[in-house]
Structure 1
Amino acid sequence: MPNKYNKERKYNNKGQAVNKLILASVVSALAFPAFAHSEKSDISIDLDKYRSHVKTLASDEYGGRAPLSAGEGLTLEYIEAQFKKIGLKPGFGDKYLQPVPLAKVTADQNMSLTIGELTLKNGSEFTARTQRISDSVKLENSELVFVGYGINAPEYDWNDYQGIDVKDKTVIVLVNDPGFATQDPAVFKGNAMTYYGRWTYKYEEAARQGAKAVFIVHETAPAAYGWGVVQNSNTGSKFTLVDDNNNRDQLGVMGWIQHDNAKQVFAAAGLDYEKQKALAAKSSFKPVSLKTSATLELKNSIERAESYNVMALLPGSDRADEMVVMHAHWDHLGTRVDEKGVKHIYNGAVDNASGVAGVLELARMFSLRAKEKPFKRSILFTSFTAEETGLIGAQHFAKQPPIPTKQIVSFLNIDGMNVNDSVDYILRYGKGVSEMEYYLNNAAKHQQRYVKGDPLPQNGLMFRSDHFALAQEGVPGLLFMSLGDTDPDYIAHKYHKEADDYDPSWSLGGVKQDISLISDILATLANNEDWPKWLEESDFKSRRAQDGR
Structure 2
Amino acid sequence: MRLLSLALVSAFALTGACPTIASSDAETSALPQIVVPDLSEQTMKDVTRELSLDTYEGRAPGSIGEEKTVAHLIAKFKAAGLEPGNNGSWTQDVPLIEITAKNVSALNIADRNGKVMSFAYGSEYVIGSYRETPKTEINQSDMIFVGHGIVAPEKGWNDYAGVDVKGKTVVVMVNDPDFENEGLDGPFGGKAMTYYGRWTYKYEEAARQGAAAVLIIHDTAPAAYGWNVVNSSWTGTQFLAQSKDGGKSQTQANGWIQKSVAKEIFAAAGQNLETQMAAAKQKGFKAVPLNLTASFNFDNDIARKASKNVIGVMKGAKRPDEYVLYTAHWDHLGRCTAASDGDDICNGAVDNATGTAALVALAEGYTKAGTPDRSVVFLAVTAEESGLLGSKYYAENPIFPLSQTVGGVNMDAFSMSGPAKNLTVIGKGKSQLDAYLEVAAKSEGRTPEMEPTPEKGFYYRSDHFSFAKLGVPMVYFEGGDDLIIGGKAAAQAAAEDYEKNRYHAPDDEFDENWDWSGVMSDLKLYYRVGRMLAMTNAWPNWNEGDEFRAVRDKSRSGK
Q: Would the TM-score normalized by the shorter structure come out above 0.5?
A: yes
Q: Within 2, Cα distance between the matches of 1:142 and 1:107? A: 20
Q: How does 1:122-161 map to 2 (within 5 A)?
A: 122-161=121-160
Q: Within 1, Cα distance between the matches of 2:23 and 2:523? A: 21
Q: Within 2, Cα distance between the matches of 1:483 and 1:356? A: 20
Which stretch of structure 1 is more off in the superposition, 338-347 or 105-114?
Answer: 338-347
Q: Which residue of 2 aligns with 1:226?
A: 226
Q: Runs of 5+ in structure 1 lacking a partner?
A: 1-20
Deviation, structure 1 residue 277: 1.2
Q: Which residue of 2 aligns with 1:438?
A: 435
Q: Secondary structure at the match of 1:178?
A: coil
TM-score, with length taken from structure 1: 0.87
* Matched AA of 1:279: A
Which one of 56, 72, 89 corresponds to residue 78 of structure 1? 72
Report Cα offsets for 1:133-187 as digits up to 9, x if no partner: 1112333443322221112223433222233343333221111111214446321
Q: How does 1:56-455 map to 2 (within 5 A)?
A: 56-117=50-111, 118-121=116-119, 122-183=121-182, 185-187=184-186, 188-335=188-335, 338=338, 342-370=342-370, 374-455=371-452
Deviation, structure 1 residue 363: 1.0
The question of whether the paired residues in 1 share the 8 Å contact of 2:263 and 2:272 is answered with yes
Q: Within 1, Cα distance between the matches of 2:471 and 2:80? A: 31
* Matched AA of 1:173: V
Deviation, structure 1 residue 95: 0.7
The question of whether the paired residues in 2 share the 8 Å contact of 1:37 and 1:520 is answered with no
The question of whether the paired residues in 2 share the 8 Å contact of 1:38 and 1:521 is answered with no
Q: Within 2, Cα distance between the matches of 1:42 and 1:234? A: 41
Which stretch of structure 1 is more off in the superposition, 357-366 or 457-466?
Answer: 457-466
* Matched AA of 2:473: P
Q: Within 1, Cα distance between the matches of 2:263 and 2:377? A: 50
* Matched AA of 2:131: R
Relative to 1, partners in 2 of residues 1:342 and 1:215: Cα closer, same or farther, differing over 3 Å?
Answer: closer
Q: Which residue of 2 aligns with 1:3?
A: none
Which stretch of structure 1 is more off in the superposition, 290-299 or 77-86?
Answer: 290-299
Instruction: Report % sequence identity.
Output: 39
Deviation, structure 1 residue 337: 8.1
Q: Within 2, Cα distance between the matches of 1:24 and 1:481? A: 18
Report Cα offsets for 1:295-334 as digits up to 9, x if no partner: 3333211122222110111122343332221011112233
The question of whether the paired residues in 1 share the 8 Å contact of 2:422 and 2:479 is answered with no
Q: Secondary structure at the match of 1:179?
A: coil
Q: Which residue of 1 aligns with 2:3?
A: none
Q: Within 1, Cα distance between the matches of 2:329 and 2:463? A: 7
Q: How does 1:458-477 map to 2 (within 5 A)?
A: 458-477=455-474
Q: Which residue of 2 aligns with 1:11?
A: none
Deviation, structure 1 residue 46: 2.0
Deviation, structure 1 residue 113: 2.8
Q: Within 1, Cα distance between the matches of 2:180 and 2:208? A: 25
Q: Within 2, Cα distance between the matches of 1:41 and 1:539? A: 34
Q: Within 2, Cα distance between the matches of 1:157 and 1:530? A: 39
Q: Secondary structure at the match of 1:327?
A: strand
Q: Which residue of 2 aligns with 1:502?
A: 510
Report Cα offsets for 1:464-498 as digits up to 9, x if no partner: 11112222322221223349848343222222233
Q: Within 2, Cα distance between the matches of 1:39 and 1:338? A: 49
The question of whether the paired residues in 2 share the 8 Å contact of 1:475 and 1:544 is answered with yes
Deviation, structure 1 residue 357: 1.4
Deviation, structure 1 residue 386: 1.8
Q: Runs of 5+ in structure 2 lacking a partner?
A: 1-14, 482-490
Relative to 1, partners in 2 of residues 1:132 and 1:313: Cα closer, same or farther, differing over 3 Å?
Answer: same
TM-score, with length taken from structure 2: 0.86
Q: Which residue of 2 aligns with 1:511?
A: 519
The question of whether the paired residues in 1 share the 8 Å contact of 2:194 and 2:457 is answered with yes
The question of whether the paired residues in 1 share the 8 Å contact of 2:424 and 2:449 is answered with yes
Report Cα offsets for 1:478-525 as digits up to 9, x if no partner: 223349848343222222233333233334222222222111110111
Q: Within 2, Cα distance between the matches of 1:40 and 1:434? A: 21
Q: Within 1, Cα distance between the matches of 2:147 and 2:222? A: 14
Q: CA RMSD in A?
A: 2.9
